[in-house]
Structure 1
């Protein structure tokens, strides 16, 4: 009875994986690879590569492309064509690269959130902590850290020949108690789960809170100034990227934490294995969504996309308009810094000699804050 039940569960799992990982995951992977390729081409063009934010998104799109290739090779092809021999041949080589790219993707998402946090919540520090050189250095540092962290995973699995058949088995190194304890439990929980997730959540909450307070106090002031639409669109874009990451990756993190504690016992449960299949699909959706989100929120990205895809000419003043916006943004930030310092000093002097309402004082000082470009 037990054997028949196990056979029935395995058949159900195979059918479930063929639909979810074989068909859905493969289609999303192919579409995501095309979208990420277009995103990289457009962001590397002379029209888009000057933005610091675009440097992080370009790197994130590259890492996501490698993640999609890994999922397609190790899950999509295997589930669609029952390519077990092919899977065994490539798994030990693809798996550590795939894990490395997943870690790079996680920390690049955290870097995007932290970069926007500095720009919105600490505008006076943005000139010091935000530059193309520093962004490139951050990307390479994340890649170097991820490669070093994932070195032990190259030795976790091995190929074993049994009855003229090659099978994947956990190696002696991978099954060692110290490896399971350090790499699969404590270091994973700290460096893959706790640190990046904390950065993303804290930055996201503070960004939303700061944007809400700015809008609320502007309404109280009754100011007629409108926020820069392009900056507003980029804020929504990056918040959407972070939100989608949290929505698709938290279930995966939860599963990996449970697996680190329960080990292979967890994989004996049919629901747990189906849950893992769904998590793989969610990870693929997260890695494929950058182009769609960019095209939806960023008008400049849409214009450049039409230029590349449909050979449509850009607006006549496109280059001049964007150059002027960058210069105005830079000059406006610098001038606002000076005016904030001067107005704060003048206002404090006035307040010392003329008692006024503290609420009005706070609102006027807030009105001198630089806009979020």
Structure 2
């Protein structure tokens, strides 16, 4: 009875994983890789790379692409084509890189949240901390920290041959009690779960509270919000990235915490392995969402994307550095020197082809200089 039930459970698990980690995961991975590639191309262009936020999003898109490639190699191909030999060959090489890229993705998401927190909640104090050079430096530091943290995972698994059958097993280093206690339990809970999630939640709550306070103040003052439409779009974009990260990664974190405390015995449960497959798909969705969110919220990103994809020319008044539309006035206001001198003012009027009658010119010439300053200033 037990052997037959185990066989049925294995068949159900294989069929479930073929759908979740096979077809669905591969489709999302391919779409996500294309979207992240377009995001990197657009953000690295001369139209977009001047923004500090875009530097962090560019790095996040690169890390997300590496995460998608790792999922595609270790889960997608294996579950879709039953390629066990290919999986055995690449697992020990891809797994440490995949874990490192996942950690980089987590901390870059936290970095994006901190950057937006500084910009919105500490606009004057944080000016010295926000510059392109500092952004690149922060990205490099985050990457180096994640690489150093994940060095022990290169020695966790190994290939073993028993009865002419090659299997993946935990190495002597990986089965060491100190490694399991530190890397898989306490350090994981602190550096992978507690610190980044705490930073993201604090920044997200603070940003939402600050934006709500600003909006409420503007309503009381009756101030128009049209000028801040672009800034609000970027705020909603980054908040959406953080929200989707929390929505898709929190179940994965919970599973890893349970795995670190209960050990590998949790994988004997069919529901736990199905839950892990769903979490893998959610992680892929998170790594693929940047392009969709950017295209939905950022108008400038859409315009530059159409410029690259469909060779559509940018608007004539599109500024390459700031992305704003310049309003060209046909009439130049006179400066103070023109106001104080009636002769210069008449010459200025003639140069701009103003339709002024003789009576208006006479009235302006006889107006005292103080009145003129009040009129034109």
Question: Any conservation in 1 of the 2:50–2:321 contact (CA below 8 Å)?
Answer: no
Once the two structures are TM-superposed, the CA of residue 313 in structure 1 deviates from its matched residue by: 0.6
How big is each residue's C-alpha offset from its partner over 1:32-61, in whole Å with a ceiling of 9 and x where there is no partner?
Answer: 000000000000000000000000000000
**Cα distance in 2 between the residues matched to 1:96 and 1:322:** 40
Question: Which segment is superposed worse, 1-10 or 184-193?
Answer: 1-10
Which residue pairs with 2:42 in the alignment? 42
Once the two structures are TM-superposed, the CA of residue 294 in structure 1 deviates from its matched residue by: 0.2
- Asked whether 1:319 is paired with 2:327, we answer no
SS at match of 1:166: strand
SS at match of 1:4: helix
Matches within 5 A, 1:5-20: 5-20=5-20
Q: Which runs of 5+ in 2 are unaligned?
A: 327-377
How big is each residue's C-alpha offset from its partner over 1:69-90, in whole Å with a ceiling of 9 and x where there is no partner?
Answer: 0000000000000000000000
- Asked whether 1:193 is paired with 2:183, we answer no
Work out which of the two has the higher radius of gyration on C-alpha atoms and give 1 or 2: 2
**Cα distance in 2 between the residues matched to 1:114 and 1:321:** 24
**Cα distance in 1 between the residues matched to 2:145 and 2:171:** 24
Which residue pairs with 1:271 in the alignment? 271
Q: Residues 254, 228 of structure 1: CA spacing in aligned structure 2 closer, same or farther, 3 A cutoff?
A: same
Once the two structures are TM-superposed, the CA of residue 202 in structure 1 deviates from its matched residue by: 0.2
How big is each residue's C-alpha offset from its partner over 1:313-351, in whole Å with a ceiling of 9 and x where there is no partner?
Answer: 11111126826689xxxxxxxxxxxxxxxxxxxxxxxxx
Which residue pairs with 1:255 in the alignment? 255
Once the two structures are TM-superposed, the CA of residue 163 in structure 1 deviates from its matched residue by: 2.2
Which residue pairs with 1:57 in the alignment? 57
Which residue pairs with 1:367 in the alignment? none
Q: Which runs of 5+ in 1 are unaligned?
A: 327-373
Which residue pairs with 1:78 in the alignment? 78
Q: Residues 320, 61 of structure 1: CA spacing in aligned structure 2 closer, same or farther, 3 A cutoff?
A: closer
List structure 1 runs of 4+ shifted beyond 4 angstroms: 323-326
Question: Any conservation in 1 of the 2:43–2:58 contact (CA below 8 Å)?
Answer: yes
Q: Residues 320, 191 of structure 1: CA spacing in aligned structure 2 closer, same or farther, 3 A cutoff?
A: closer
**Cα distance in 1 between the residues matched to 2:225 and 2:112:** 28
**Cα distance in 1 between the residues matched to 2:268 and 2:30:** 31
Matches within 5 A, 1:86-235: 86-224=86-224, 226-235=226-235
Which residue pairs with 1:368 in the alignment? none
Question: Any conservation in 1 of the 2:74–2:91 contact (CA below 8 Å)?
Answer: yes
Which residue pairs with 2:237 in the alignment? 237
SS at match of 1:322: coil
Which residue pairs with 2:332 in the alignment? none
Question: Which segment is superposed worse, 76-85 or 312-321?
Answer: 312-321
**Cα distance in 2 between the residues matched to 1:79 and 1:190:** 32
Aligned length: 326
SS at match of 1:241: helix
**Cα distance in 2 between the residues matched to 1:85 and 1:223:** 65
SS at match of 2:159: strand
Identify, as 1 or 2, the structure richer in helix.
Answer: 1
